[in-house]
Structure 1
């Protein structure tokens, strides 16, 4: 197996993000929106990004399978024995993409023994990459520039909670009362994990449904920056489950 290094994966994420922007900025595009089996939206940009990521990852590491939101469904009986695989969301925040608020991302995570050990998140509109690994820590960079090491906040009071722009839940407010939250901000997609990782917010609680590819890259980046990720019952957050639907979760500083 070729040694897995982050820079080539960053290039794939940026290429996929630029393909998304071609659709996003094309005035002739109606985004070709269709509905998936779960009634969530699918656009031409999702598919373009998926194709680029699949081609890039397969060329780099043909022996590592890819679990992608837009890929073919892989039966649990096959994937349960994968020691190493990629978990990919080619366009996280499709609703943000359709609403043209810019808060969407490309998510690529490397999973080892069903744990996110490396994560790359690229925001095409912001043109910023967040990435991290459990071995090397987490970083933020503009493509082509030098990376900046990032860490979670060490604030013990006056926390800022970050939540979803498109999927807010009133019950989340009640749960957040156990933390020293004084302020709240909202943003779309996996950028929430990145805001935790760079110390601009201290807690992200999500009650509503997400999928494993929504959280894997973000968890890798946040945890590599010093965050903790637990399920809503404060237990271990599991991946590669028979159902890829996530339970509720906390991601917080420390």
Structure 2
């Protein structure tokens, strides 16, 4: 992936963010999908825009979006490389008026993310990472490398705003000492660990692959890691249900 393509991806995600923010000004009405998760007009509009833009930018690379997850596994299993996107990650945060939503774009090669980009439309901040390169934050047109940090007095643990009462999470936190818990929506949790604000993100319960791919790539490029409960790296596009297992993201 060259610098020109990075520039275009940053521009594409910014435009998708503008679409989301414009809709947010007028409506956060939603409906409920078959999997009992909410969807808004912003989800749909961002999906259509990103699908068209990426198809033009890289016509030979297939795309799997949260809003196109009906693509059969029999088709997906032949993909050696594909875009994995969440057009609006943190839909419930978006509906509730929280700024903690984002756009996630990952390039998956051989079942693992080799590129990750996360954009916060509310804050107009990008995070991205190329394969085997350090992670970058772009804010106010300035780019700089980001790094994880070690806890100074206690560990700052970040969890999902809507999963704080998850039974598995509660049991996991009982085993921890000297920590403070923070709540934050969407894949931005990976990014804030990557830039040293938080230190630990345990995820129990339902989580889809488009929720994790870009964040994993970015966090690893900043010195962190993400493993499942067997201490193994997460893999992608190996199952029909597109669900990531429970995992631990750490600085």
- Whether TM exceeds 0.5 here: the answer is yes
Is 1:13 aligned with 2:13? yes
| Structure 2 residue matching 1:209: 3-state secondary structure | coil
SS at match of 1:220: helix
- What is the Cα deviation at residue 134 of structure 1? 2.9
SS of 1:200's equivalent? Answer: coil
Choose the corresponding residue for 1:165, options 161, 165, 176. 161
**TM (normalized to structure 1)?**
0.92
CA distance in 2, matches of 1:252, 1:115: 18
Structure 2 equivalent of residue 252 of structure 1: 250
Instruction: Summarize deviations over 1:124-181 as a string: whole Å, max 9, x none.
Output: 11111111123221111125x1112101113476211110112222532432455564
Deviations 1:26-70 (A, max 9, x none): 2xx3x3411111011111000110011111111110000001001
- Say if 1:160 and 1:52 are closer, same or farther in 2 by CA, change over 3 A: same
Correspondence list, 1:158-197, <5 A = 158-168=154-164, 169-176=166-173, 181-197=178-194
Distance 1:4 1:208 in 2: 38
Q: Which runs of 5+ in 1 are unaligned?
A: none
Q: Deviations 1:71-123 (Å, cap 9, x if unpaired)?
A: 25111121112111000000000000000111100110111111011111111
Gaps of 5+ in 2: none
Q: Is the 8 A contact 1:67 1:87 kept in 2?
A: yes
Scaled by the length of structure 2, the TM-score of the pair is 0.93
Q: Secondary structure at the residue paired with 2:59?
A: coil
In angstroms, what is the RMSD of aligned CA positions? 1.9
The verdict on how the C-alpha distance between 1:192 and 1:135 changes in structure 2, with shifts beyond 3 A counting, is: same
What is residue 206 of structure 1 aligned with on the other side?
Answer: 203
Q: 1:146 aligns with which of 132, 138, 142?
A: 142
